[in-house]
Chains A and B, each alone.
Chain A
């Protein structure tokens, strides 16, 4: 017979082994992508797949002259940061006023904002495409910045709203007693308290913009194409360079993966519209 302690330890061991097996299985495609990026093209295409091989950094070293990686990466960076900055600028005041000056309509407004996320992008693909064409914005970074700002705005407002709601109102009351007016109140009192929350909101926005792949595929071709579009170009039959594809993909995903690992706890709040913390 096992003692209680022994059976607990056995239980932990079994649960642990099982959890590790599931985790490794789910992570395998990412691991395999990383491994393939270190192979030569011949090793990458070998049958059966090679687990042991001489690693090479060649794919990474030639990433720029083979795919013009940095142009796409720079597009991704400017579009993501541009849309995030613009989104924060519009969302912070809205969240501020809804969190601290709640009216009868506040809840309705918040839910309505959420409901705009239900609008499927294909429903407005045609007019947005034609409008972009009309204004000469096809294949421009500006159009993606505008669209990403708008599609992420509801999430930003919700997320900042939940952070602001957690701030004790006494602090703002005290600041007001000291004669603080609107702008200084926001800048001097509110922003320092909520900077952690605002940072995670920005991180979430960056992740969503970086990975967006409907509008970037439909509205850009070469000039403004971000990394999502560069990688999609490898889907054509002549693009069957697995090792290079893997290297480009690894580089494109690494920063977001690291962002995600760092901020997993905070992301839950934003992704669940504040319902799960």
Chain B
């Protein structure tokens, strides 16, 4: 890490006191007009829709009654927060994000440690097999699990249950949220493995060897050497996964449609339901803003934790 920082002279220093050569050629300091397209586009992408969401959240606006756009203050927020789906949607979102994070980080650390523990036959193939689910598109993984694995009659799990003499379970009907947690974990555990595996390979082998010669057992090495080294990649995994897990949608859309009842509805699905199925623009916008606030709370916590971590390297 330190080597990359020292190899690259810090740019701000040269900017603060421009070299004579640079002063003669000011066209070589092009920063603003090269960065601005990205910044302007992202700014528009954030501000325009957000401003519209804010406006819609304050009016009574249903696509079924297009003429009506009365200002109603915070009524939409009131309706959204007291909607029968809000509390389950909120809890399900937290359960989904929390359990998938827990599963992928804990199992991710263990599995990547397992891969680094010994140089066994076919390690390359094992690596490829392990990360593969991450590249499967969400609608495919949802439907493969729903039909080929969870199906109460012809699914694999039904066959396994019958083999052990148990009554097959209709997973998505009886345990909808847990089933979705498993599908989503199946997609994101490989991501954690991919990141953590790469991070572990950069762990100093000499240091590990030295610890071993000093008589440290494998568990002590894992606890005192490997885990601290993984703090930053784990933080990265948590941050990236949180971003995506807060908005899990396709997996619910294609398997349970949020049901039965609200049993597997998360905030993203609830808002989609208000907007595109019930055409209630006002209420969906209020919900959208609440989702933005929640994501921002998560973001502030995470960026505080990790933001320094990400940039200090350069």
Chain A residues within 8 Å of B, Cβ to Cβ: 11-13, 15-16, 18-20, 22-24, 26-30, 32-33, 36, 44-49, 90-91, 93-94, 96-98, 100-104, 106-107, 109-111, 113-131, 150, 153-154, 157, 162, 165-166, 168-169, 176, 181-182, 207, 210-211, 213-214, 217-218, 227-229, 231-232, 234-235, 240, 242, 245-246, 249, 252-253, 256-257, 259-261, 264-265, 267-268, 271-277
Contacts and interface: CB of A to CB of B under 8 A. Distances in A.
Given A103-B15, A116-B42, A242-B154, 15 more contacts: A27-B129, A47-B159, A111-B310, A122-B291, A123-B292, A126-B52, A126-B53, A126-B285, A168-B7, A213-B139, A218-B276, A228-B139, A260-B134, A271-B194, A275-B233
Contacts of A165: 4, 8, 314
A36 B289 CA distance: 43
Interface of B: 4, 7-12, 15, 21, 27-32, 34-35, 37-39, 41-42, 45-46, 48-50, 52-53, 56, 111, 114-115, 117-123, 125-149, 153-156, 158-159, 162-163, 186, 189-191, 194-195, 198-199, 202, 232-233, 236, 240, 243, 246-247, 249-250, 253-255, 267-268, 271-272, 275-276, 281, 284-285, 287-289, 291-292, 294-296, 298-299, 303, 306-307, 309-311, 313-314
Given A29-B149, A102-B15, A256 B232 contact: no
B298 A150 contact: no
Contacts of B303: 111, 114-115
B46 A246 contact: no
B276 A268 contact: no
Contacts, number: 339
Contacts of B254: 231-232, 235
Contacts of A27: 129-130, 132-133
A277 B202 contact: yes
A272 B240 contact: yes
B30 A182 contact: yes
Contact of A90 (B37, B49, B298): B37
A96 B189 contact: no
Given A126-B284, A257-B136, A109 B39 contact: yes
Nearest to A155: B240
A1 B100 CA distance: 43
23 contacts: A27-B133, A29-B141, A33-B144, A47-B159, A49-B156, A94-B39, A98-B35, A101-B15, A111-B307, A124-B50, A128-B49, A153-B42, A162-B314, A213-B139, A214-B250, A214-B268, A228-B137, A232-B250, A249-B144, A272-B240, A274-B314, A275-B310, A276-B233
**Interface SS of chain B: helix, strand, loop or mixed?**
helix
A29 B148 contact: yes
Contact of A49 (B159, B272, B294): B159
A267 B128 CA distance: 13
Nearest to B312: A107
B236 A273 contact: yes
Given A29-B141, A97-B35, A231-B137, A16 B118 contact: yes
Nearest to B36: A94
B229 to A, nearest CB: 11
A125 B50 contact: no
Interface centre among A125, A259, A271 (most CB of B within 10 A): A125
A123 B314 contact: no
Given A150-B41, A165-B8, A23 B137 contact: no
A150 B81 CA distance: 31
Nearest to B298: A118
Contacts of B291: 120, 122-123
Contact of A122 (B232, B288, B309): B288
Contacts of B9: 169
Contacts of B281: 126, 130
A256 B148 contact: no
Nearest to B253: A217
A252 B143 CA distance: 13
Nearest to B120: A16
A221 B129 CA distance: 34
A36 B144 CA distance: 10
A120 B295 contact: yes
Nearest to B45: A150
* Top 10 A-B pairs, shortest CB-CB distance: A16-B120, A102-B11, A127-B52, A124-B49, A213-B250, A93-B34, A260-B135, A97-B34, A118-B299, A123-B292
